[in-house]
Amino acid sequence: MPDTHPPIQYVAKNMRLDLRLIGEMVTPGARVLDIGCGDGALLAHLTTTKGADARGIEIDMAEVTEAVANGLAVIHGDADNDLAFYPDAAFDYVILSRTLQAVERPREVLRQMLRIGRHAIVSFPNFGHWQVRWQLLTGGRMPMTGTWHRPWFETPNIHPCSIRDFFDLCALEGYTVEQWLAADENGLRAPWRRSSRLANLFGEQALFLLRRG
C-alpha cells in the first residue's frame, strides 16, 4: 500500500497546550521567539492576549506563508541553522514547542535558545511514558502511541528523550529549571509535580521553563 501520508518534518502541534500553558509562562509585553511556530497560532495568541512582540521560525513553506499572510513576523528557517544569527539576549522568551526531539542537535539548539533569550520554554513528548515502556517491553517493537504515532522509519523525531533525561541535560549544561510540569496529550496539567519519576511514568508530555545558570 502506498504511503499516503504527506512527508512531515516536525510533529503536529497540540495548540491547546501551547496556547494555554505556554501563554501562562510569558509575561506581558515580552519579546518572544517561537521556534517551529507552525502557522503562528501561538504568536497571534501572545500578541493579542499578552501584547507580546512575537516572532517565529518555521521550516514548512505553507505554514510560513499562512503566518506571513496573517501579518505575523515569521521566517522560513530552522532551529539548527538560524538561531546562531540572532544577537545575545534579543528575546525574553525563546519557545521550542514539541520540536526538540526533531532537531539535529538538541543540545546546541538549547544553548542557542538560552544565548539569544533570557528564558527558554521547551515542551517535548515524553518517551518515558508507561505506554511507551510497556509496548517496547511486551511487544519488542518501537512503540506507537497517541503521542508517538509515526513508524520508526519515517518519524521526524530523531532525538526522543524522557523527562528524567531532560532534567539530566539541564544539570549537565547548568540550566536552572524555573518551572516544569507534565501534562497529558490534551494539555491538561498532570498532578505529578512533586515527583519527576512519577511524571516521567505518567506524563505524555513535559513543559520546562529554563534560564541560564
Partner 1 sequence: MLRHNATPTAMSAPVAPFPQVDHQRAVFTDGLALDCGVTLAGHTVAYRTYGKLNTARSNAVLVCHALTGDQYLAETNPVTGKPGWWDNIVGPDRPLDTNRYFLICANVLGGCMGSTGPREEMTDAEGHGMGRPWGTDFPNITVRDMVRQQKRLVEHLGIDRLLAVVGGSLGGMQALQWAACYPESVFACVPIATAAQHSAQNIAFDEVGRAAIHADPDYRGGRYWEDGRVPAQGLSVARMVAHITYLSEEALQRKFGRKLRGAQTLTLLEDVFEVQSYLRYQGSTFVRRFDANSYLTITRATDYLDIAAEHEGSLARAFAGTATRFFVASFSSDWLYPTSESRHIVRALNAAAANVSFVEFPTDKGHDAFLLEEPEFHRALGGFLAGCAARLGV
- The residues of the shown chain that bind partner 1, judged by CB under 8 A, are 53, 55, 61-62, 64-65, 67-77, 82, 85-87, 90
Nearest residue (CB) to partner 1, 62 versus 172: 62
Residue with cell 544577537: 87
Nearest residue (CB) to partner 1, 112 versus 162: 112
For the chain, helix, strand, coil in percent to 5 are: 35, 25, 40
Nearest residue (CB) to partner 1, 61 versus 172: 61
Closest separation in Å from C-beta 48 to partner 1: 13
Closest separation in Å from C-beta 9 to partner 1: 14
Range 69-74 contact pairs with CB under 8 angstroms and sequence separation of 24 or more: 70/39, 70/40, 70/44, 72/37, 72/40, 72/43, 72/44, 72/47, 73/43, 74/37, 74/40, 74/43
Task: Give ∠ CA 164-177-127 in degrees, rounded to 5.
Answer: 25
Closest separation in Å from C-beta 111 to partner 1: 17
Nearest residue (CB) to partner 1, 69 versus 188: 69
Closest separation in Å from C-beta 60 to partner 1: 11
Closest separation in Å from C-beta 88 to partner 1: 10
Nearest residue (CB) to partner 1, 112 versus 196: 112
Pairing label, strands 73-76, 91-97: unpaired
Closest separation in Å from C-beta 68 to partner 1: 4
Nearest residue (CB) to partner 1, 12 versus 62: 62
- What's the CA gap between 136 and 190, in Å, rounded? 24
Q: Quick check: 164 and 197 in contact, CB under 8 A? A: yes
Q: With H, G, I as helix, E, B as strand and everything else as coil, classify residue 179.
A: strand
